[in-house]
């Protein structure tokens, strides 16, 4: 064969065989690909729906377990405390317990519905006849009052002089009959009104108002002057008095007054509760103060969760969200949970079921009941220990 130049390259048939063509896709593989695309699309849609639901606001609120916080870690005392009482190191811990009540998104509401420890509330169930702002203000004042009463009760037990000072008569809630008449209080008065006169008589404090109301009869129409909405000039309304729902022989205006009492004490005490509102920490605050200002350990070194209001006569009052607070107390490691004896049978049963074998749940009607139970679990008896003892 004649030689050729590089420009006349002759391509000879290749002696290397070509690779075989790929086999045709099987029908099962094709089906897998066909199903994968819709499944992926659905997954993305579900994920996007979940994200969107977390931003969709609802007119629903939760009642959920909150926290159980140490009272002693949040207490502060004035520099002159040593002139009136002795502070003692404490063992164990007294916890005040909270519940959450925030507004829910659509996603939050769905998860709440499937959680046995969360209760979903409508606007009316959450706020009643109040606005959210009014309820926040009322709860804030209730927390202040609970601290004041706790100081008064603890100081009285300790033998330290203290006394209540009454504030303005502020309407906290309105009491309506089933068919209120046009001049009923719930038609004429407003929450946050400050009552300054009743039937021409000045009423600077709640006791003075009670005195003049008690002299009237249901059905009497009287003029009531109120300060409304921050105004400096009073507004006069005509109000028809009614009988108390629980005692037909007792005359009432048809209001629930806000507790505006303050307590005068010889030294300052602070209890930092952040933005937590409501009166349910009263008993816990009282016990923590007694433990701090008396010898020995009232809790016997045990972590004790406590809920319930405290009154000036040492009685303990019922509170809300007992089930949710029991969950919070158990999660915080409390070995004992004290709750008011005036709670419903269902509340008490639910709290004890949640406590199980790890958290003992006991009911108390008075401060002395609480002290007795603490002594039963190994706490020291309460002994007043002021410098004058």
Tens of pLDDT along the chain (389 residues)? 444 444 443 344 445 555 666 655 555 555 555 556 666 666 555 565 555 544 555 678 788 999 999 999 999 998 888 888 888 888 889 999 999 887 776 666 666 566 778 888 888 888 887 788 888 888 888 898 899 999 999 999 999 988 888 899 999 889 888 888 999 999 999 999 999 999 999 999 999 999 999 999 999 999 999 999 889 999 999 999 999 888 888 999 999 998 888 888 888 899 998 878 889 999 999 999 999 999 889 999 999 999 999 999 999 999 999 999 999 999 999 999 999 999 999 999 999 999 999 999 999 999 999 999 999 999 999 886 554 44
Number of domains the chain is built from: 2
Last residue of a domain, one of 226, 257, 288: 257
CB atoms within 10 A of CB 92: 21
Domain assignment of residue 48, yes or no: no
142 and 291 in a single domain? The answer is yes
Please give the structure tokens belonging to residue 52: 């969107």
216 and 353 in a single domain? The answer is no
Q: Say how far apart CA 262 and CA 150 lie, in whole Å.
A: 11
Task: Identify which of 336, 330, 332 has the alpha carbon closest to the alpha carbon of residue 376.
Answer: 336
Last residue of a domain, one of 257, 283, 302: 257
List CB contacts of 327: < 8 A, sequence separation 6 or more. 65, 117, 354
213 and 136 in a single domain? The answer is no
This prediction has a pTM of: 0.75
Q: Say how far apart CA 9 and CA 365 lie, in whole Å.
A: 111
- Residue 102, strand partner residues: none
> Do the Cβ atoms of 248 and 137 come closer than 8 Å?
no
Q: In which domain, by residue range, is 223 found?
A: 169-257
CATH number of the domain bearing residue 224: 2.30.42.10
List CB contacts of 238: < 8 A, sequence separation 6 or more. 183, 188, 221, 222, 223, 224
DSSP 96: E
Task: Identify which of 384, 330, 388, 346 has the alpha carbon closest to the alpha carbon of residue 155.
Answer: 384
Half-sphere exposure of 58 (CA within 13 A, CB side): 18
DSSP 81: G
- Could you tell me the CA-to-CA distances from 273 to 41, 74, 119 in Å, in that order? 48, 7, 24
190 and 281 in a single domain? The answer is no
Domain assignment of residue 152, yes or no: yes
- Residue 340, strand partner residues: 364
């Amino acid at each position: 064969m004649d030689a050729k130049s590089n420009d006349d390259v002759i391509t000879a048939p290749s002696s290397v065989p070509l690779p075989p063509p790929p086999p045709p896709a099987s029908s099962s593989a094709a089906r897998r690909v066909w199903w994968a695309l819709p499944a992926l699309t659905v997954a993305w849609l579900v994920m996007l729906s979940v994200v969107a639901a977390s931003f969709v606001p609802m007119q629903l609120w939760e009642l959920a377990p909150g926290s159980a916080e140490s009272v002693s870690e949040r207490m502060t005392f004035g520099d002159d405390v040593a002139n009136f009482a002795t502070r003692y190191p404490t063992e164990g811990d007294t916890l005040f317990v909270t519940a959450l009540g925030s507004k829910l998104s659509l996603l939050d509401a769905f998860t709440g519905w499937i959680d046995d420890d969360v209760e979903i509330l409508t606007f009316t169930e959450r706020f009643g006849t109040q606005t959210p702002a009014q309820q926040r203000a009322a709860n804030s004042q209730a927390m202040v009052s609970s601290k004041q009463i706790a100081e008064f009760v603890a100081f009285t037990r300790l033998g330290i002089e203290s006394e209540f000072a009454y504030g303005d008569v502020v309407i906290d809630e309105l009491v309506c009959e089933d068919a209120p008449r046009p001049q009923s209080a719930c038609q004429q008065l407003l929450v946050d009104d400050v009552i300054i006169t009743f039937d021409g008589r000045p009423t600077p404090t709640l006791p003075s108002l009670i005195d003049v109301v008690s002299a009237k009869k249901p059905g009497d129409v009287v003029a009531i002057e109120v300060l409304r909405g921050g105004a400096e000039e009073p507004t006069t309304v005509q109000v028809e008095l009614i009988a108390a729902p629980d005692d037909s022989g007792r005359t009432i205006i048809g209001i629930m007054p806000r507790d505006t009492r303050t307590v005068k004490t010889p030294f300052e005490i602070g209890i930092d509760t952040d933005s937590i509102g409501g009166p349910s920490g009263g008993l816990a605050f009282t016990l923590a103060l007694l433990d701090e200002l008396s010898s020995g350990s009232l809790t016997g070194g045990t972590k004790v969760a406590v809920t319930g209001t405290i009154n000036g006569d040492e009685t303990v009052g019922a509170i809300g969200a007992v089930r949710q607070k029991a969950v919070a107390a158990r999660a915080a490691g409390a070995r004992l949970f004290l709750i008011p004896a005036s709670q419903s049978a269902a509340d008490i049963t639910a709290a004890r079921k949640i406590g199980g074998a790890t958290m003992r749940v006991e009911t108390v009607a008075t401060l002395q009941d609480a002290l007795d139970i603490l002594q039963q679990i190994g706490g020291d008896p309460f002994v007043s220990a002021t410098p004058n003892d």
